[in-house]
Structure 1
Amino acid sequence: MTLLACSGAWAGVQVNFEQPDKYTDVPFSTPDRDVVLNGLADHFQFLGKSLPPGQQLKIEVTDVDLAGREDVTRRGAFAIRVMDGRTDWPRMRLRYTLEQNGKVLASGNAYLSDMSYLQRIGRYSSNDSLRFEKQMIDDWFRNTFNIKPKGRSKPVVSLQQREVQGR
């Protein structure tokens, strides 16, 4: 049921992706999909470094819808994502549990989305393929755990994609 599990003892975060081949919008090819999922997991783990010592966050991602839409008419050597800011904002569904010493401090289901993703000043470089999703996750992490991200996670630049905004 879980395709990919990433965890880091130093980060206090364990991320699982439930049936990623059924997600709303992730790359079709397995290598590109793995790049996206690993990038998201790395970002959650990066944010987890700001949790108080001894806390463990478990996240189960149940759906991902990346910013923009892949333009299948232009598919070739590069995947092209068209971003118009209308109905193509990034979204994610997940379940989470925050524990300390085996005691549950917080848990729940979360629906993350950022309808104004193209109008915001982003923290992440335009070279980061997941910059809009990372900003959305930062907002959720700040609102849910009251922790402001310190710094930025490493950019995901290995996806071979070009983006076209506002066709």
Structure 2
Amino acid sequence: MRMRIALFGVLAAAGLSPCPTARAAEVPAQTVTVTYDRPERFTETREEKALAPSRASDDYLVTLKTYIEKRGAKMLPAEQHLDVVITDVDRAGSFEPWRGPRLSEVRIIKDIYPPRINLSFKLLDAQGKVIREGTRTLRDLGFLTSDTAAARDDSLRYEKRMIDRWLRSGPDKL
């Protein structure tokens, strides 16, 4: 009896259930999944490696993935599933190495460097039937003149606003 209680305690602490079917019923299916298609070829990745090698990082990809999955889950009906494959990212701003060594690796935000995200998607119903699919190029040419209610310290605020606008368009217009 002690062994069974101890085993149950260990499983519960690990977030597991001794009865697999009970656990499966508790976990809702993920309504949005995001994957990246060859992120090493993304415009953002190539620019950072070429113009700001010490700043080159793909941490922004993790943040974008999490953001899209969470926001999409809030905006889609529970019975639908959205699969997003991001094929290119070019964040707002760019590097201008000609400004000198002190500013060569500082991202300069100007209206001539708008954010852009290329993606393909599939919107599925509860049975896995495709409701809508397609490719989109999200771009915000007026990103500096748009209302910036987002936190100024969020380095992905412009990209997140584009994603929100796309998701808010709704399942009928994705």
TM over 0.5: yes
* TM-score of the aligned structures, taking structure 1 as reference length: 0.72
Letter in structure 2 aligned against 1:62: T
Query: Cα–Cα, structure 1 residues 93 and 30, in superposed 2: closer, same or farther, change >3 Å?
Result: farther
* TM-score of the aligned structures, taking structure 2 as reference length: 0.70
Identity of aligned residues (%): 29
Q: 1:44 is matched with which residue?
A: 68
Q: Which runs of 5+ in 1 are unaligned?
A: 1-7, 148-167
Please, which of 57, 61, 74 is the counterpart of residue 82 of structure 2? 57
Q: Distance in 2 between matches of 1:93 and 1:102?
A: 24
Q: Distance in 1 between matches of 2:117 and 2:166?
A: 11
Q: 1:118 is matched with which residue?
A: 144
Q: Deviations over 1:70-100 (max 9, x none)?
A: 2335567994111121x21000110000111
Q: 2:34 is matched with which residue?
A: 15
Q: Distance in 1 between matches of 2:101 and 2:28?
A: 39
1:84 equivalent to 2:110? Answer yes
Between the two proteins, the alignment pairs up a number of residues equal to 139
Q: Is the 8 A contact 2:118 2:136 kept in 1?
A: yes
Letter in structure 1 aligned against 2:58: D
Q: CA RMSD in A?
A: 2.7
Secondary structure of the residue that 1:33 maps to in structure 2? coil
Q: Which runs of 5+ in 2 are unaligned?
A: 1-26
Q: Is the 8 A contact 1:123 1:135 kept in 2?
A: no
Give matches, 1:1-167, under 5 Å.
11-26=30-45, 27-28=48-49, 33-50=57-74, 51-73=76-98, 79-85=105-111, 87-100=112-125, 101-145=127-171
Q: Distance in 2 between matches of 1:130 and 1:44?
A: 12
Q: Which has the higher contact order (CA 8 A, sep 6+)?
A: 1
Letter in structure 1 aligned against 2:165: D
